[in-house]
A and B are shown apart, each in its own frame.
Chain A
């Protein structure tokens, strides 16, 4: 049975081109880039070249504003804690209720340490109210941290506008954005529309590079201090011997991702839209979370299936070779359903029945056909078992 991998917002397959450029740095070019012998020049230059490549991909910025990290989670921690370290006088932080845990949990931790943290709510479409945001801005606001696009629903946030409003309120407000889900799916230009963003994070493994490497952009002049200490690497801003092969791989992946934005916006969006329309037609009592948002990632489809539980759906899909994910409580290891869907007030009859399908450049028509063939039948079978489904009238029974 062929595997249909549609969980690309969780992680992605490594691109063959990426693997190829990494190979020499595992074998012959293993030297520590900080060493003095001439052989160490190759890995040192490779890191420099990688930094320049990533800088070009982000709108042609000065490469010295980029540091390589171990993950987007590390980038987020470094961005936020580093800013807090450098600005003890400012105590207010604005973020959203739908951030990835690597921002959300830092927000909660800073609140425990005595900061005043505003978690902006979202509406039923998953969108923020810009008015709420404006009203939350304060003269002692230190950080605004809002993701570019949500990992669960694909809903995108107007970062350029939010960043400008922060700077016009007070030039000392530091703007951070977690761009992990945006790279390769949306244009990310830190010289033009995102010129007011000070800190930007993302990882390699969402764009077909390996897990274990990330990027943090720190705009020159941002009041920020290093968070991981103990070495001169990355201009003293992130200690630890550089992960040369992964950095090289990430740069290649960035190049491919930026070149692939057009494909995502046309072909991949087409696949997603067709899948969405067909499932809406064939599955009764189905909602699409984030469908009405002004802007949604072209690859993401978050289904709310009324009356059944997401984990059971995933196990059935898995038996048919389809890899997807769910915001259901039963899949999370806790008993709480997804904080994103809760913040969107997805109705209680569907909050445990969410299924996320996220595509990549490697998905094709055949994958979509397979999902269309399997998913409606899986939903129908599980609904037969559910006390909340009226099989005769084919509707929810509550």
Chain B
């Protein structure tokens, strides 16, 4: 089904792709704030830059005048990037005020997003936070307490919980609380974590464990998974295999090479010997049948008369 995008999403997407006047596609040179979030492997990335009108003495009174983005992503990721820039430019916000812009503001500006696309708006808010942190560093503005200490979070790196999208435990803990996420589905919609292979949903230390730890265990939630290892199968054909190899090497291969061909052993199961005819014999129309007889006869005589040859 086509995604149920709002008119606003489609309008912003179209304007952005057409590069219409007033849209914000691009990257500012020497920006006052630079923030990037996402990765190409995960399916979306937003690179966000902004410029401020600097206040001569007080960085807190810098005002954002220009915002630009480059986005690798789907229709709603591109529309959300456009929305972010529109919101910031329209209200002449200071970088500190800009931090008040949440993913919900972007969703509202867009006239709503499908649930599974909420992560597109979260990406906008994350890139913005990173860009403001960059601005603060450049302007030597004390940010402690204003934004989560992203640098420290990155430095700690933390255990990766969702390996498909490289989402770490510290990040998940922060976002679960910030966005009030109470189920695995909500986490996946907002942060993508758990959206691919699903292994982390109920693994020890996985998404459910984090939810339980933060909000208390959900009713009926129980631990204990894991499968029994599979039974081993079949007999070892070690001795048979060695003998078959020896006969092929010493007798059969030399015979075939005289004809410009050769034989390749693929597998042995019980008394079935799987081989492939190569070289000139492989393309000879008489090849497969003659080959099978010849190889089978040699192996029956020299190894075991129960041997059967299967041509691959």
Contact = CB atoms under 8 A, between A and B. Distances in A.
6 contacts: A134-B312, A165-B312, A169-B310, A307-B72, A352-B43, A398-B40
Interface string A153-175: 00000000000010011000000
B196 A385 contact: no
Contacts of A352: 40, 43, 72
A245 to B, nearest CB: 26
Interface in B155-181: 164-165
A315 B43 CA distance: 16
Interface string A381-393: 1101111100000
A169 B266 CA distance: 13
Interface of B: 2-3, 10, 13-14, 16-19, 25, 27, 36, 40-41, 43-47, 70-75, 77-78, 116, 119, 164-165, 188, 192, 195-197, 230-231, 233-234, 266-267, 269-270, 272, 274, 310, 312
Contacts of B270: 139
A283 to B, nearest CB: 16
Q: Which of B14, B25, B266 has the most CB of A within 10 A?
A: B266
Interface string A251-267: 00000000000000000
A386 B197 CA distance: 27
B196 A334 contact: yes
Interface string A349-364: 1001000000000000
Q: Which of A307, A315, A335 has the most CB of B within 10 A?
A: A335
Interface stretch (A67-75, A193-201, A325-333): A325-333
B63 to A, nearest CB: 26
Chain B interface, DSSP helix/strand/loop, else mixed: mixed
Interface in A205-248: none
Ordered nearest first, which 8 A-B pairs have the shortest CB separation?
A335-B195, A330-B74, A387-B70, A311-B74, A336-B196, A387-B47, A348-B41, A168-B310
Q: Which of B45, B71, B74 has the most CB of A within 10 A?
A: B74
A26 to B, nearest CB: 27
A168 B272 contact: yes
Nearest to A308: B72
A318 to B, nearest CB: 8
Contact of A134 (B2, B19, B231, B267): B267
Contacts of A140: 233
A33 interface: no
Contacts of B19: 381, 384
A368 interface: no
Interface string A118-139: 0000000000001100110111
Nearest to B233: A138
A282 interface: no
B134 to A, nearest CB: 16
A337 interface: yes
Contacts of A367: none
Nearest to A398: B40
B45 A315 contact: no
A187 B45 CA distance: 45
A385 B77 CA distance: 11
B116 A381 contact: no
A316 B17 contact: yes
B116 A333 contact: yes
Contacts of A312: 13, 17, 73-75, 78
Given A139-B270, A165-B310, A330-B43, 9 more contacts: A139-B269, A307-B40, A312-B73, A312-B78, A333-B116, A335-B119, A335-B188, A384-B19, A398-B40
Q: Which of B70, B72, B78 has the most CB of A within 10 A?
A: B72
B269 A385 contact: no
A112 to B, nearest CB: 8
B197 A336 contact: yes
Interface of A: 92, 116, 130-131, 134-135, 137-140, 165, 168-169, 307-312, 315-316, 318-319, 328-330, 333-337, 348-349, 352, 381-382, 384-388, 398
A335 B43 contact: yes
Given A139-B269, A312-B73, A385 B16 contact: yes
Contacts of B269: 137-139, 169
A285 B197 CA distance: 29
B40 A348 contact: yes
Contacts of B78: 312, 385
B312 A130 contact: yes
B192 A309 contact: no
B9 to A, nearest CB: 10
Given A92-B233, A134-B267, A169 B40 contact: no
B164 A336 contact: yes
B196 to A, nearest CB: 4
B165 to A, nearest CB: 7
Contacts of B3: 311
Contacts of B18: 381
Contacts of B74: 309-312, 328, 330
A134 B70 contact: no
Q: Which of B16, B18, B27 has the most CB of A within 10 A?
A: B16
Given A138-B233, A312-B78, A336-B196, A385 B25 contact: yes
B15 to A, nearest CB: 11
Contacts of A169: 269, 272, 310
A349 to B, nearest CB: 6
Contacts of A311: 3, 74-75
A130 B47 CA distance: 45
A191 to B, nearest CB: 21
B124 to A, nearest CB: 14
A386 B17 contact: no
A165 B310 CA distance: 7
Contact of A337 (B43, B47, B266, B312): B43
Given A131-B266, A134-B267, A309-B74, A329 B17 contact: no
B166 to A, nearest CB: 12
A53 B195 CA distance: 45
B200 to A, nearest CB: 13
B197 to A, nearest CB: 7
